[in-house]
């Protein structure tokens, strides 16, 4: 085999490898980002683009399939499903956003405090987080609903608490590693105070990790909020919310009108998948290949 | 080459590019090098010189997406053209490699004995008892005291120097003809380094192995090799007999490297630094890759890449090589393989 | 220059459980003097350096600098800053010893602002002066560590340490991770810096080769103890302790052959 032929064989192999990398990398990241951005835009501009009032009942058009008037059909009280999906994106996205941002902030603060202070503080914070970790989010939500009554706010609060340990565990591990890097010792020796080192050096260096964690968690929290609403512990009727829509459309599935559950379910699945792909892609870009 | 003998290992205008940061970047510009059977060649270079990739190309161990031009031949057979099965045969029977950090190349959860016998039992289908006896003998050969006990220990119980001896034993277990040693002592202390190098040297002599020794340490390479090949920014810039290194190195880069590490026991030895940093292969411009750092560089050096030219019984790719004192050249060493025959004849 | 030593270490000991890592080490370093601590891994040389710099607690023994003891972990800000001006350290890995998200120039400015009443243009001028002194230019000052070579990173770490104008600089294997041709640059830079200002070096290394180019005196450590001490030229050409002999004989040089000890 001449070296030219050889190069072409190797070249073919390299092209295949490039394609695989592309699929793993940029293309998917861009597509996932586009889906997420589109849904967010839809949620923000829902009142402008939704063709109907999401709560407008039309007894003349109950449980209809797709038509020119109602693209995605209507539900069992004649409300336009497309409009309800668009409006429903708002609580469906906002609730998990509050959960992830809240859990991200508090979780990071606790994790960094534990790692930096070490000793007794570390043991205490870790022990509390472990206890919370032991409770499934659902159990917390049921307890919350039993005490304060069911509602989206309570669901958000309990989920925030449930997600804290997930964030805190990962961040604490990295914060410990960060604290033991020579640059922290160097800054201490240079006379910089602990607060400044933590806030200006350690935390900014942990931010990419926190961002990736919350981006990945966002999809799952959305799923959880939807699940809470589905079982009646989250958003309450007549609010338009995806999880609630899946539940409300459920009887229709047997009656031959699956559109409400179907489209709400699809919205959840597509968005969650896009979120986790985006999170995975970001994690490669932000935390890999630093050096 | 005047004789018809085929070198055991030959790099023939080897050029390698890798996909880095979206584009295909050159990591090895050109390496021409032949290792006669039984010879030891030190491939010396700093970071980015491409020395480790050159060694890896011998076993088909280049990273995914690597494109090879030119050829690497083992005993006349082209390595890049080999199929997976042939590559496996090459790695499991003919050529073995010892790496810089033994701990990343051994399973920490399994015993040293398991690690050493695995290839013999599963690939070569030797009976376990026979494999174990062979491996114990190998450990003794690399001067591991208490070999039976070591076989039952795990890697974490062994010091770095001892573990590197285990890796050497595992490389010898396949009874290779070629040993590739990629910075095998860089992670070790000086005293341990001397021991490990002595063991490699001894095994080579006893078994008639061919050695390609990758290092950044010229003096170390000169101590255990017949010939020295120096790489800079993906180019092989000089090749010469090891015993002529200090006196007659012709390439300006080789001389600069020597001046960067003077003998500590010679009083008032001057430390002369070269400005700048070692370039990576893809950063090399159209001229001599070392020109930006070279004190003797002329306009020509920046414009035109020097071709390797014969200098005494070596060669150097330098437009203005350091003048070689004709008195210092052994007349009987003009045959490029004189050093090799002398070595194997001993 | 006064007679008070920059650094005085008496019977320094570090125990990790049953294991004694450093066993009764005593050192004395006069103002402007440079001392090498040579040893292999496990000799206790790095632990010694970390105790002296306050990064590791001391099991027993004393460390005094300019006649004052080390500040404790609860020291006041002023005390900490004063200690910083006595002793600084350059680490082995220049990448992890710099904040990877901070521009080189900003890192130096941050330290300057902490220690000197400098503002605005004056601070920038001093920063550029320091960068210039270690051979870094504006482009490198605006770079993050990732975009610099190993040698440039180590220059940046040296400039940052010099920003507080310390009396003593501890160099913990500071050139071990660098390319051979760059090692010599950094060693020469350190020698040059010492020619310009009153500064002492404590040079922690496993590599005897560089010692004569930077240090007048050397101590050799083995298993936590000092086995030999003396002027560098004397120790390297006429070692008394067999272990020092071993160390020297293990350094590759022209005509050298590797030998097994056992």
Using the beta-carbon criterion (under 8 Å), do B68 and A7 form an inter-chain contact?
yes
Residue C75 to chain B, least CA–CA distance (Å): 38
Q: In terms of pLDDT, which residue wins out, B120 or B111?
A: B111
Q: Per the domain annotation, does C28 fall within a domain?
A: yes
pLDDT tens, residue by residue, B59-98:
999 988 899 999 999 999 999 999 999 999 999 889 999 9
**Percent of chain B residues past pLDDT 70, beyond the cut:** 92
Nearest to C250 by CA among A18, B125, B161: B161
Does residue C82 belong to any structural domain of this protein? yes
Nearest CA in chain A to B13: A3
Q: Compute the residue count for chain A.
A: 291
Decide if B65 and A11 are in contact by the 8 Å CB cutoff: no
Instruction: Please enumerate in sequence order all residues whose Cβ is within 8 A of that of A64, keeping only pairs 6 or more positions apart, or say none.
Output: A70, A73, A74, A78
Q: CA B223 to CA B271: how far, in whole Å?
A: 21
Q: In this complex, which chains have at least 3 CB pairs below 8 Å with chain B?
A: A, C
CATH 3.40.50.300: does it fit domain B9-75+177-345? yes
Whole-angstrom distance, CA of residue A50 vs CA of residue A97? 22
What is the count of structural domains for chain C?
1
Q: Between A186, A200, A290, which is nearest C97 by CB?
A: A186
Structural domain boundaries of chain A? Answer: 26-49+68-287
User: B65 vs chain A: nearest CA distance in angstroms?
Assistant: 5
Greater model confidence, B273 or A291: B273
The pLDDT value recorded for residue B272 is 87
Q: Which two tokens stand for residue C48?
A: 């010694």
- The rounded distance, in Å, linking the Cα atoms of A264 and A246 is 6
> Chain A contact for B47, CB < 8 A?
no
User: Is the distance from CB of B256 to CB of B271 less than 8 angstroms?
Assistant: no
Tell me the per-residue pLDDT of B158-202, one tens digit each, with 9 for 90 and over: 999 999 999 999 999 989 999 999 999 988 888 999 999 999 999
Average pLDDT over every residue of C94-119:
92
Predicted model pTM: 0.85
Query: Considering CB atoms only, which of A6, A17, A18 is closest to B68?
Result: A6
- CB-based contact A1 B81, cutoff 8 Å: yes
Average pLDDT over all residues of chain B: 88
Give pLDDT, residue A11. 53
Distance CA B120, CA B172 (A): 11
Q: Is residue C57 part of a domain?
A: yes
State residue B150's pLDDT score: 94
Chain C neighbours, 3+ Cβ pairs < 8 A: A, B
Q: What helix, strand, coil percent values describe chain A, rounded to 5? A: 75, 0, 20
The Cα B96–Cα B13 span in angstroms is 23
Q: Which residues contact A184 (CB under 8 A, 6 or more apart)?
A: A178, A197, A201, A202
- CB contact (8 A) between residue B261 and residue C180: yes
First to last CA, chain C: 49
Give the domain CATH number at C238. 3.40.50.300
pLDDT digit string (tens) for B116-173?
Answer: 998 888 877 889 999 999 999 999 999 998 999 999 999 999 999 999 999 999 999 9
pLDDT, average across residues C24-42: 94
Q: What are the distances in angstroms from CA B91 to CA B15, B82, B110, B119?
A: 22, 12, 22, 11
Phi, psi (deg, nearest 5) at residue B229: -120, 130
Domain assignment of residue C185, given as a range: 7-91+166-249
Where in chain B are the domains? Answer: 9-75+177-345, 104-175
**Antiparallel, parallel or unpaired: β B227-232 and B235-241:** antiparallel
* pLDDT given for residue C67 in this prediction: 85
pLDDT higher at B286 or A289 = B286
Check: CB of residue B161 under 8 Å from CB of residue B192: yes
Residue C170 lies in a domain: yes
Distances (CA, A) of C22 to B166, C49, C69: 30, 10, 19
Q: How confident is the model at residue A252 (pLDDT cuts 50, 70, 90)?
A: confident
pLDDT value of position A62? 83
Mean pLDDT of C205-230: 94
Between CA C204 and CA C227 the distance in angstroms is: 15
pLDDT at residue number A6 = 46
* C171 in A contact zone (CB under 8 Å): no
Structural class in CATH, domain A26-49+68-287 = mainly alpha
Determine the average pLDDT of the residues in A129-149. 85
Range A117-140 average pLDDT: 89
User: Smallest Cα–Cα separation from B80: which of B166, B7, B13, B4?
Assistant: B13
Q: C227 in contact with B at a CB cutoff of 8 Å?
A: no
**Residue C256 forms part of a structural domain:** no
A100: alpha, beta or left? (left if phi > 0; alpha if psi -120 to 50)? alpha
Q: What is the pLDDT of residue A20?
A: 60
Q: Is residue B268 over pLDDT 90?
A: no
Spatial distance between the Cα atoms of A188 and A57, rounded to a whole number of angstroms? 66
């Amino acid at each position: 085999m001449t070296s030219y032929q050889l190069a072409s064989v190797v070249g073919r192999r390299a092209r295949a490898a490039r394609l695989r990398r592309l699929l793993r990398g940029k293309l998917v990241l861009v597509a996932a980002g586009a889906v997420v951005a589109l849904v967010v835009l839809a949620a923000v501009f829902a009142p402008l683009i939704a063709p109907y009032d999401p709560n407008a009942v039309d007894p003349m058009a109950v449980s209809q399939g797709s038509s020119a008037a109602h693209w995605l059909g209507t539900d069992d009280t004649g409300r336009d499903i497309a409009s309800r999906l668009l409006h429903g994106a708002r609580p469906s996205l906002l609730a998990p956003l509050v959960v992830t941002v809240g859990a991200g902030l508090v979780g990071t603060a606790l994790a960094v405090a534990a790692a930096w202070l070490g000793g007794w503080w570390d043991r205490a914070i870790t022990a509390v987080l472990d206890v919370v970790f032991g409770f499934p989010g659902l159990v917390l939500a049921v307890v919350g609903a039993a005490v304060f009554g069911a509602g989206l706010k309570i669901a958000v609060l309990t989920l925030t608490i449930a997600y804290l340990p997930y964030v805190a565990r990962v961040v604490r591990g990295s914060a410990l590693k960060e604290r033991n890097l020579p640059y922290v010792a160097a800054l201490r020796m240079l006379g910089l105070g602990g607060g400044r080192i933590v806030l200006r050096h350690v935390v900014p260096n942990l931010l990419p990790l926190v961002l990736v964690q919350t981006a990945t968690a966002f999809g799952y929290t959305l799923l959880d909020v939807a699940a809470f609403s589905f079982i009646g512990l989250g958003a309450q009727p007549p609010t338009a919310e995806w999880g609630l829509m899946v539940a409300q459309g459920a009887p229709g599935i047997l009656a031959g009108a699956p559109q409400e559950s179907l489209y709400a379910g699809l919205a959840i699945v597509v968005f969650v998948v896009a979120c986790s792909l985006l999170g995975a892609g970001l994690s490669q870009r932000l935390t890999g290949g630093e050096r | 080459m005047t004789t018809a003998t085929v070198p055991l290992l030959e790099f023939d205008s080897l050029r390698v590019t890798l996909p880095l940061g979206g584009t295909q970047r050159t990591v090895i510009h050109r390496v021409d090098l032949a290792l006669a059977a039984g010879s030891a060649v030190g491939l010396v270079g700093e970071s980015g010189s491409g020395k480790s990739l050159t060694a890896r190309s011998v076993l088909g161990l280049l990273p995914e997406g690597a494109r090879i031009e030119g050829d690497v031949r083992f005993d006349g057979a082209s390595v890049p053209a080999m199929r997976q099965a042939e590559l496996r045969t090459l790695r499991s029977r003919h050529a073995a490699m010892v790496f810089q950090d033994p701990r990343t190349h051994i399973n920490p959860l399994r015993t040293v004995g398991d690690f050493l016998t695995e290839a013999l039992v599963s690939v070569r289908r030797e009976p376990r008892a026979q494999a174990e006896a062979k491996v114990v003998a190998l450990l003794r050969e690399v001067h591991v005291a208490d070999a039976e006990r070591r076989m039952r220990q795990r890697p974490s119980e062994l010091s770095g120097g001892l573990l590197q001896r285990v890796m050497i034993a595992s490389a010898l277990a396949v009874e290779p003809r070629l040993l590739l040693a990629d910075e095998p002592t860089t992670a070790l202390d000086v005293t341990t380094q001397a021991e490990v190098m002595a063991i490699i040297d001894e095994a080579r002599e006893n078994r008639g192995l061919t050695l390609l020794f990758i290092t950044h340490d010229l003096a170390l390479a000169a101590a255990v090799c017949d010939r020295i090949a120096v790489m800079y920014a993906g180019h092989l810039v000089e090749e010469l007999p090891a015993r002529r290194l200090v006196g007659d190195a012709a390439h300006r880069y080789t001389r600069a490297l020597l001046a960067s590490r003077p003998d500590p026991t010679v009083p008032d030895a001057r430390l002369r630094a070269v400005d700048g940093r070692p370039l990576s292969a893809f950063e090399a411009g159209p001229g001599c890759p070392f020109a930006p750092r070279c004190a003797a560089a002329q306009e020509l050096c920046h414009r035109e890449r020097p071709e390797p030219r014969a200098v005494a019984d070596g060669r150097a790719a330098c437009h203005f090589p350091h003048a070689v004192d004709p008195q210092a050249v052994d007349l009987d060493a003009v045959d490029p393989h004189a050093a090799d025959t002398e070595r194997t004849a001993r | 220059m006064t007679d008070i030593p920059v650094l005085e270490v008496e019977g320094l000991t570090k125990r990790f459980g049953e294991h004694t890592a450093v066993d009764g080490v005593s050192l004395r370093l006069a103002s402007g003097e440079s001392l090498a601590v040579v040893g292999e891994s496990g000799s206790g040389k790095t632990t010694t350096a970390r105790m002296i710099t306050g990064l590791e607690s001391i099991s027993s023994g004393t460390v005094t600098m300019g006649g004052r003891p080390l500040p404790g972990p609860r020291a006041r800000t002023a005390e900490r800053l004063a200690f910083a001006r006595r002793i600084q350290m350059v680490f082995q890995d220049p990448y992890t010893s710099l904040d990877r998200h901070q521009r080189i120039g900003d890192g130096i400015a941050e330290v300057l602002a902490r220690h000197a009443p400098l503002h605005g243009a004056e601070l920038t001028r001093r920063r550029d002066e320091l960068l210039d002194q270690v051979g870094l230019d504006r482009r490198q000052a605006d770079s993050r560590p990732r975009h610099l070579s190993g040698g440039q990173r180590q220059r940046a770490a040296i400039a940052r340490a010099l920003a507080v104008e310390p009396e003593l600089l501890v160099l913990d294997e500071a050139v071990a991770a660098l390319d051979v041709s760059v090692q010599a640059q950094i060693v020469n830079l350190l020698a040059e810096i010492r020619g310009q200002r009153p500064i002492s070096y404590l040079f922690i290394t496993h590599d005897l080769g560089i010692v004569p180019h930077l240090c007048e005196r050397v101590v050799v450590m083995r298993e936590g103890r000092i086995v030999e001490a003396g002027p560098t030229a004397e120790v390297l050409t006429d070692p008394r302790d067999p272990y020092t002999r071993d160390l020297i004989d293990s350094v590759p040089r022209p005509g050298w052959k590797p030998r097994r000890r056992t």
